[in-house]
């Protein structure tokens, strides 16, 4: 099935600004996130498609390559340097089907379930009309296969707790362990799962580069997590004990009396672990005071509160 245009996936124009792309992604991610649609496989696949599109279009470099080369720029093994040579070759009058005056390298087929199916041999086939003809070759010698690299999208929950995932690689299914504490840029090495060696040489390795998915209910800063915590006026004013979710399960949190909106209540050790063995991050519950629905009774009830303010709450605002 042909891959959908990434701009169509997010519902934005090709000239959309970065802010418009980010807003479109957040809106769709919140709607289709698996946590919001438990057990809905279609919503899960839609969320993966949305996230993959955002990963490319939110990155200026990746977006530029996608705009120029289309889906080929997303394939594992895409050689940006070779693409730049091809661009210069075309600018100087080259045509598809002519000899290509540079080495495109050796490509093999690597299929990674959940990341994408990539045919290394066809990455530049359409562009160059035949690839690396004219390459000089010496006597046959054992050569190791090329290493491959692919991005692996990981949910925050899996990054916090660790997980195992089945990946389809060629005709094999491998169970890959995702260690607790992985973060953006973490690399998981699958030995011998890259391109095949030639003349009896060993296979290369496959490196899965972790990219963390945004979570609609949690913000991440390093190893710390931030969760908005709605409180009623009585809970904030008089204090309370409320139940809040964490990746480790629900916990009770004590709300001090007189808690103001915006206050951050810390739960130690409930953030993301450190892959290198350092201390685990914290979870901060950020208080958001919620008024009851608007009514005459509400307006009458809060009138006496005005006399309780001892100073102007906006006195510190300045630009």
Same domain, 50 and 152: no
What per-residue confidence (pLDDT) applies to 100? 34
Top-ranked range on mean pLDDT: pick from 52-61, 191-200, 209-218, 234-243:
234-243
Beta-carbon contacts of 189 under 8 Å, excluding residues fewer than 6 positions away, are 205, 206, 207, 208
Helix axis angle for 41-57 and 60-69, nearest 10°, is 100
Q: Let me know whether 106 and 205 are in one domain.
A: yes
Last residue of one domain, picked from the residues 215, 245, 271: 215
Mean of pLDDT over the chain? 80
Q: Are residues 107 and 180 in the same domain?
A: yes
Q: Which two tokens stand for residue 34?
A: 């698996």
Are 268 and 290 a contacting pair, CB within 8 Å?
A: no
21 plus 63 within the same structural domain: yes
Res 38: pLDDT: 83
Same domain for 200 and 255, yes or no, is no
DSSP per-residue codes, the chain: -PPPPHHHHHT--TT--HHHHHHHHHHHHHHH-TTTSTT-HHHHHHHHHHHHHHHHHTSHHHHHHHHHHGGGGGSTT--HHHHHHHHHHHHTT--TTSPPSS------EEEETTTEEEEGGGTTHHHHTSSSTT----S---BPPPPEEEEEEE-HHHHHH-EEEEEEETTEEEEEEE-TT--TT-EEEETT-SSPPBTTPPP--EEEEEEEPPBTTEEEETTEEEEEEEEEHHHHHH-EEEEEEETTEEEEEEE-TTPPTT-EEEETT-SPPPTTS-----EEEEEEEEPPPP-HHHHHHHGGGGGG--S-TTTT---
Give the CATH number of the domain where residue 154 resides: 2.60.260.20
- If asked whether residues 114 and 191 sit together in one domain, one would say yes
- Please report which confidence band the pLDDT of residue 2 belongs to, taking 50, 70 and 90 as the band edges: low
Query: Is residue 62 situated within a structural domain?
Result: yes
Asked if 107 and 205 sit in the same domain, the reply is yes
Q: Considering only CA atoms, which of 143, 150, 142, 144 is closest in space to residue 190?
A: 150
Tell whether 317 is covered by a domain: no
Flag whether 80 is in a domain. Answer: no
20 within domain boundaries = yes
Q: Give which of 260, 307, 252 is closest to 287, Cα–Cα.
A: 260
- Using pLDDT thresholds of 50, 70 and 90, give the confidence band for residue 61: confident
230 lies in a domain?
yes
* Tokens, residue 109: 């087929």
Using an 8 Å Cβ cutoff, are 270 and 246 in contact? yes
**Can you say whether the dihedral through the CA atoms of 47, 53, 54, 55 is positive or negative?**
positive
Strand arrangement, sheet containing 264-267: 218-221, 224-232, 283-290, 264-267
The model carries a pTM of: 0.55
Structural domain count, the chain: 3
Domain of 63, in residue numbers: 1-74
Band of residue 77 on the pLDDT scale cut at 50, 70, 90 = low
Residues 207 and 233 in one domain: no
Q: What is the pLDDT of residues 105-157, one digit of tens each?
A: 332 233 333 333 333 333 333 333 334 444 455 567 888 888 888 888 899 99
Is 88 among the domain residues?
no
Residue 307 is assigned to a structural domain of this protein: no
Looking at the structure, do residues 112 and 208 belong to the same domain, yes or no?
A: yes
Position 285 in a domain: yes
Structure tokens at 157: 């929950």
182/223 same-domain check? no
**Residue 206 sits in the same domain as residue 124:** yes
User: Based on the domain organization, do 196 and 237 belong to the same domain?
Assistant: no
């Amino acid at each position: 099935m042909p891959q959908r245009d990434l701009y169509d996936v997010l519902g934005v124009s090709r000239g959309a600004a970065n802010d418009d792309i980010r807003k479109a992604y957040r809106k769709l991610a919140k709607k289709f996130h698996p946590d919001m649609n438990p057990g809905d496989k279609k919503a899960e696949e839609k969320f993966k498609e949305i996230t993959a599109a955002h990963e490319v279009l939110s990155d200026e470099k990746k977006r530029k390559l996608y705009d120029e080369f289309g889906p080929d720029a997303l394939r594992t093994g895409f050689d940006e340097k070779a693409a730049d040579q091809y661009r210069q070759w075309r600018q100087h009058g080259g045509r598809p089907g002519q000899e290509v005056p540079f080495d495109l390298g050796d490509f093999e087929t690597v299929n990674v379930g959940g990341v994408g199916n990539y045919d290394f041999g066809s990455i530049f086939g359409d562009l160059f009309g035949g690839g690396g003809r004219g390459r000089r070759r010496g006597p046959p010698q054992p050569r190791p296969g090329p290493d491959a690299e692919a991005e692996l999208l990981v949910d925050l929950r899996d990054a916090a707790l660790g997980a195992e995932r089945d990946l389809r690689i060629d005709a094999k299914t491998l169970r890959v362990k995702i260690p607790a504490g992985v973060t953006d840029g973490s690399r998981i090495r699958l030995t011998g799962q890259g391109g095949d060696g030639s003349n009896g040489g060993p296979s290369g390795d496959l490196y899965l580069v972790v990219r963390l998915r945004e979570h609609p209910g949690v913000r991440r800063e390093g190893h710390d997590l931030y969760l908005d915590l709605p409180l009623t006026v009585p809970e904030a004013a008089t204090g309370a004990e409320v139940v809040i979710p964490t990746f480790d399960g629900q916990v009770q949190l004590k709300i001090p009396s007189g808690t103001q909106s915006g206050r951050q209540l810390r739960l130690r050790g409930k953030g993301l672990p450190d892959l290198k063995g350092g201390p685990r991050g914290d979870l901060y519950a950020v208080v958001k005071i919620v008024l009851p629905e608007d009514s005459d009774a509400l307006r009458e009830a809060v009138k006496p509160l005005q006399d309780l303010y001892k100073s102007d709450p906006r006195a510190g605002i300045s630009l």
